Amino acid sequence: MNPRTLLLAACSALSLHAHAAAQLMSAPITVATPQDSASLVARLNALEARPGLTPDYSFRISSQHPGVTGQKITRAQHTYKGLRVFGSESVVVTNAAGDIVSVSAADRRPGLQAQAATPNPPLPADLTPTLSTDAAIAAAVQAVAPGATHRWPPSAELLIYPLMKSARSAAAAGKPDSQLNALDLEDVVDHYTLAYLVQLRMALNGKLVYYDVVVDAKTGAILKQWPALQTVTGIGHSQYNGQVPISTSAIASGFQMLDSARGTGGKYGGMAITNANHSSPNNPDPGSIYTNPSNTWGDGLQYNGGSTTNANGQTAAVNALWGLMNTYDTNKNVLGWQSLDGNNSATYIAAHVGTSYDNAFYDDSCKCMYIGDGNSFLSLGAIDVIGHEMSHGVTAATADLTYAGESGGLNESNSDIGGEMVEAYARNGGSGNVVPASGNDWMIGKDISKSGQPLRWMVKPSKDGHSPDAWSSTLKNLDVHYSSGPNNRMYYFLSQGSSADPASDSYSAYLTRTPAAMSGIGNDKAYRIWFKALTTKFTSATNYADARNKVLLAAQELYGATSKEAIAVQRAYAAINVGTDMDEASGGGGGGGDGGGEPAERIVNGGFENGATGWSGSTFVIGAHPAQAPYEGTRYAWLGGNGRRASETLTQRITIPASATSAQLSFALHIDTDETSNTVYDTLTVTLRAATGGAVLATLATYTNLTPADGYQIRSFDLLPFKGQNIILSFAMREDRSQQTSFVLDKVSLRTN
């Protein structure tokens, strides 16, 4: 008897439509050993085995942090002849067995077919620097601040630096500049230079001077530089929360502001608030942890310039501790993400930096935050300010968005988003596993403003007089605190929706489909989608167009490819001139899917509802059976489930247009097995093959009997490196002689822009 017809009589009651459930991040992961990293690099090299990838190309593991429960996220920098290629990396999500769940990449490697239909330019033949690291550092210091002193030791990394330029898509060739959409342009490599990335963390005249500088390794010329200090300073124009609970620790003399329940390790062994006691911002000393004979702290009033340790001086520390606790709790309780890095590493905030210091900043060198008492501002420890700064730490641990150009604007926007979501959580009691629908004001830094004017408005960024409301080709030239504006507005629309009234702050002329006022999905869903995109898909080089595609993919993975949440992402980005608008009800609208149009589906009959149409190979596996539930519709492809030696393959020819700006493959996969041994017996291998000759271009993933799951899981892969090619997508199943494993496939999709 064929087990395929029987095996899941008891399994048909499973909840297989799993994407609607909230998923939490895993507990902190174990730091990878050198052997683990070498093994992963070997697997990545094998995964990337395709034409053009010689042994000169490899990977360097830069960071690892938790994914959703049972998964790990690894960031792997691309290297060529042992040198890192700046801004080129892969983000790989794996499950507990090491199987690939998703891959997202920014590929700027020399000689490969990446962003354009033609290969990237070759490298100079000579990769030997004429400049020493010391000379590179000296050149950078001379360019930035010759008289400054080093607060942290400077560093210089020799790397391959791609100098980028903007290229129009074929569809936008004749468009006037004023009509360009973000998806009309793509960043391509103009040429490569051997360079040093010099990181300077200096101080001068009472100010911190943190810069990253790219120095030509042959000539010493400065190729690019950008500020690296992440602050909330803006156009300058509380206390803020009344009586609040704070978590402290008992000591022999009373109590200290050390929260040992949140975070481990670090400088103080837990989350701590310290007294910088007017230490100069030129080289701030965090000082000692705040202590008090009783466990009642602060007087709730603005600091008056006197003692930093009496009740009035403690108030800034109360603000800081309450803000830090709520930032930690928002991400942990809602998302499962622990501390800044997901691995529960403790951080600290130092209060009373400088005298009347009008700033607060996050310093990744110590993974900590410093808060001034304010002069034009009130004390800078408001809840959204702390959430903002601590969110810089999350970015640094994950996407590490380069703090310049469009990626720098997205870096700042992520912190504004984090600040607002922490504010909503904190002001609704600071508990629960969702971000409340209200409680935040969508204004950054309003509480610290003496005039009542915030630093930034998320609903209409242009109200500050500097930030644009929508993307334009000049956005990358702005200060990152201003280039964050359009993405902030996108997030407001995604959460709250828009207005059809042209007089409203929440009106967008770019929303031209039905209804004119787009629907929002609320704070909780918007934050889950954004955080998933940041941590599992963004790279350091992500720009607005790339962010739109990856936020959309995150929404599709969480809530479904045609869900209202995915439609809301597309409309919210369209509202800021990134992509085109679409109707909410039908999911239609827009153009044909290339360049600036709406995504086009390249898979024929991906849900198998039309039987074998579009598919070749073992098409008898397509159908509907009472023993298996579909992901959606009525049919699916059931590979395996035989309980005997068997080989089954489904293939489809696909073409990715040369003009594509994104190409996202996804499919829903359910795995169950009768195997009980901890040995791989049955496999499903997903590959891309050459349309002519059938040679394997890439192995996307291999799934086995060791990775069963109670429901469908969405798997996703970035196929943009294969644009301009005709290829074959292949799902190949192999079962051994006994004990079935079923690989149930549904909702295969390849969407290109």
Catalytic residue among 389, 423, 557, 584: 389
Catalytic residue among 65, 278, 481, 670: 481
Contacts of 120 (CB under 8 A, 6+ apart): 108, 109, 110, 111, 112, 113, 114, 162, 188, 189
CA distances from 176 to 172, 181, 187 (A): 9, 11, 18
What pairs with residue 647 in β-bridges? 734
Give the pair of three-digit tokens for residue 516.
Answer: 């004119």
Give the pair of three-digit tokens for residue 252.
Answer: 């022999």
Contacts of 162 (CB under 8 A, 6+ apart): 85, 86, 87, 88, 108, 120, 189, 190, 191, 192
Can you tell me the distance from the alpha carbon of 682 to that of 645, in angstroms, rounded to the nearest whole number?
A: 9
Quick check: is 481 catalytic?
yes
Half-sphere exposure of 247 (CA within 13 A, CB side): 16
Q: 676: helix, coil or strand?
A: coil
Can you tell me the distance from the alpha carbon of 199 to that of 23, in angstroms, rounded to the nearest whole number?
A: 37
How far is residue 156 CA from its own chain's centroid?
26
- 133 dihedral zone (left: phi>0; alpha: psi -120 to 50; beta): alpha
Quick check: is 186 catalytic?
no
CA distances from 460 to 179, 215, 469, 482, 573 (A): 21, 38, 6, 12, 14
CA distances from 1 to 6, 641, 642, 656, 733 (A): 9, 12, 9, 43, 20
CA dihedral sign of residues 202, 204, 209, 211: negative
Give the pair of three-digit tokens for residue 336.
Answer: 């499962």
Residue type at 492? Y
Instruction: Give backbone dihedrals phi and psi of 162, rounded to 5 degrees, phi first.
Output: -80, 125
Q: Quick check: 700 and 727 in contact, CB under 8 A?
A: no
Beta strands 83-95 and 288-289, pairing class: unpaired
Give the pair of three-digit tokens for residue 376.
Answer: 């034009």
What are the catalytic residues? 389, 481
